[in-house]
Amino acid sequence: MSENLLSGRRILLLGSNERAALSACRSLGRKGAIVEIATFDPIRQPAELSRYCRKRFFLGSPVTDMADVRKRLAAHLDKYQYDAVFPITDMACELVYADYAALASRAVIVGPELDAYLRAVDKAQALKLAKKAGLNAPNGILLYPGDDPTPAFDILAEGPVYAKPVRSCLVTDDFVNSFEVKKCRTRSQLERKLSEDLPRLPVLVQRPVEGHGVGLNILADRGRLVAASMNRRLHEPPEGGGSSFRCNVPMAEEDIQIARDIARRLDWSGLMMVELKGNDGHLTIMEMNCRPWGSIETAIRAGIDFPALAVAQALGLSLPESLVASDRPVRVRNLKNDLRWVFGQRRRWLSRSSPLVDWLGALPRAALGWEYLDIERGNDPLPAIGQFNPVFARVWRRGQLGMKMAAARLGYRHHFQKLDKRDPILFLCQGNINRSAVAEILFRQAGFEHVLSGGVLPFHGRGISPAAARFLEMQGMDGTKHRSRNFHSCKAFVSEGARIIVFDFRTMADVWVMFPEFRPQVMLFDDLARLKAGELPDPHGESEAEYVECFERISVTLQDQIG
């Protein structure tokens, strides 16, 4: 690929993260492109500090104001006239493909067409396609909303399972939800996971797959495979997640054929990483990532410049006629994240192949060119510092919350307050699937006219917990129709003067930090009871008895209000 093919092209990276965004920014910048980044997080990520990032724009958070972010993005594209928009994160992809026609009319989208994206990003559809292409699939079942979960519990009886929502990120009701894969070892864990996610989307329940992690990396142009590589995970978390150390490996002809078949069946354009498990020569699919992947630097160091090739493909520029591949056995390490893996291997520190000694030698080996680092680079040093920004931000937020919680505790004096049934009330907890949900349903049943509930966590539409549903059923009420709300969706209700009733000082501190203007409206649930009992802790993940004790206290407090 010509070094100046992208020279002067204005490219907007949409979304930012620690590794993929930085690799893409550096790749395009080296080719002469004018790279700017639009981010959804006020905390600066490494890519935004790179010498190759010309400008950085903060669009706001889709979790808190999705509609406004979409408007800001459209206005931003109208103002700056980019040649291409390159979505980097799952959230960025969802934002783009939720409004694909409107955004594609403003700039070229670096990625597949809408139909191909929707087929590949759905884990259940990806499994079917992968099996046709010659890959194995994990044993398990697919549950749809409303299905009987008994078959999933039958699989769990044979050992741990992974509960996988079919999407990692999904826009519904103008709210962007993120979904996590969870390893479930007990019936109660799986029951809770299914109750939370099944109301929102289908869930795969699968048996674990033995083997090492493998990434099959693809760039295609309207179904034609342009570039491909494979990397093997050398260091990966035991419970899953991104690898901190990996190696580019040669591709066998059957691996290339699988990549070609996937690209052809999807009529794919753009980048994809097929996450696999390799065991005794057999490859089993985990999922398809339809965006730049975290380990993309491995392929770039092996000589396959996936980000630059992807932008060239999207812009209709010249592409190589023959397949771009590399057998170079380069190794690439994420120094910061690999330290976490090393600590997990501390029992082997004094062994002959000590992980600690290996990690300590990473910088000298990188200096000699024997291996490479994801982030640290002498001619672009600031990202190495910026990778700690999220850590500092978390520490700062925890400190803020800690001080606010301490202030709330010190300043609290129990004072019984009786509510008027006509008062607007918002019960607020963390996730809105236990305490606040039960309080909303019980108080509404008792005749309180204007009652809502919500949670401060960034989730929307989750089902109530099984323990809460069982408790309400014993009271003759149906809680299964409840769907969680994020506090941001309740702001209009609160702005009209609703009281915000929280169950613990942590939630009180959350409101004080995020929305100080609502501080005068916040009160502790304990003040609704005649006798002081203190905070009402979240029972999430505890025993059934602790769930029942929590909900019974809410019921008793209600009697104080109506008695």
Mean pLDDT of 433-460: 95
369: left (phi over 0), alpha (psi -120 to 50) or beta: left
Confidence of residue 298 (pLDDT cuts 50, 70, 90): very high
514 pLDDT higher than 80: yes
Taking residues 168-182, report their average pLDDT: 89
pLDDT of amino acid 294:
93
Q: What is the mean pLDDT of the segment spanning 466-484?
A: 95
Helices within 277-388 (DSSP H only): 296-301, 306-314, 335-344, 355-360, 362-367, 382-386
| Mean pLDDT of the 104-121 span | 96
| pLDDT tens digits, 316-347 | 998 999 999 999 999 999 999 999 999 999 99
Look at residue 209 and tell me whether its pLDDT is greater than 70.
yes
User: Regarding beta strands 53-58 and 34-39, do their DSSP bridges make them parallel or antiparallel, or are they unpaired?
Assistant: parallel
- Please compute the mean of the pLDDT values over residues 422-432 and round it to a whole number: 96
Confidence of residue 173 (pLDDT cuts 50, 70, 90): confident
In this predicted structure, the answer to whether residue 350 has a pLDDT above a threshold of 80 is yes
Domain layout of the chain by residue ranges: 10-119+210-387, 139-206, 404-562
Q: Is the pLDDT reported for residue 289 higher than 80?
A: yes
Q: Would you tell me the crossing angle of helices 466-474 and 544-562 to the nearest 10 degrees?
A: 50
| Predicted pLDDT of residue 237 | 85
Of all residues in the chain, what percent carry a pLDDT higher than 90? 91
| Spacing of C-alpha 410 from chain mean position | 36
Looking at residue 307, its pLDDT comes to 97
The Cα 357–Cα 440 span in angstroms is 56
The CATH number that domain 10-119+210-387 falls under is 3.30.470.20
- The predicted model scores a pTM of 0.92
pLDDT of residue 59: 95
**pLDDT for res 82:** 97
Question: What is the model's pLDDT at position 483?
Answer: 95
User: pLDDT tens across 29-56, in order?
Assistant: 999 999 999 999 999 999 999 999 999 9
Tell me how far apart the alpha carbons of residues 145 and 448 are, in angstroms, rounded to a whole number.
31
Closest CA to 389 of 58, 44, 61: 44
**Measured distance CA(93)–CA(168) in Å, rounded:** 11
Q: What is the C-alpha to C-alpha distance for residues 117 and 169, in angstroms, rounded to an integer? A: 13
Length of the chain: 563
Indicate if the pLDDT at residue 240 is higher than 80.
no
Measured in degrees and rounded to the nearest 5, phi and psi for residue 70 equal -60, -40
Report residue 339 CA to chain centroid gap.
22
Mean pLDDT, to the nearest integer, of 206-222?
A: 95
Q: Is residue 238 pLDDT above 90, yes or no?
A: no
**The domain 139-206: what is its CATH number?**
3.30.1490
The pLDDT mean for the chain works out to 94
Q: Is the pLDDT of residue 486 over 60?
A: yes
- What is the predicted pLDDT for the residue at 551? 97
pLDDT for position 281: 84
Residue 390: predicted pLDDT: 92
CATH architecture for the domain at 404-562: 3-Layer(aba) Sandwich (3.40)
Spatial distance between the Cα atoms of 292 and 184, rounded to a whole number of angstroms = 29
CA angle 25, 27, 32 (to 5 degrees): 90
Q: Find the mean pLDDT for residues 459-485.
A: 94
Do the two domains 10-119+210-387 and 139-206 of this chain adopt the same fold? no
d(CA 433, CA 200): 14
Q: Does the structure show a pLDDT above 60 at 2?
A: no
> Tokens representing 339?
């330290």
179-195 residue pLDDT tens: 999 999 999 999 999 99
Question: Once rounded to an integer, what is the mean pLDDT over residues 276-299?
Answer: 94
Buried b (16+ CB within 10 A) or exposed e, 343-377: eeeeeeeeeeeebbebbeebeeebeeeebbbbbbb
Report, as an integer, the average pLDDT of 503-523: 94
Phi then psi for residue 211, to 5 deg, are 130, 180
> Helix 20-30 to helix 306-314 angle, to the nearest 10 degrees?
70
Q: Which residues make Cβ contacts (< 8 Å) with residue 305, sequence separation at least 6?
A: 1, 27, 31
What is the pLDDT at residue 1? Answer: 53
Report the candidate in 326, 323, 328, 327 with the shortest Cα–Cα distance to residue 260: 323
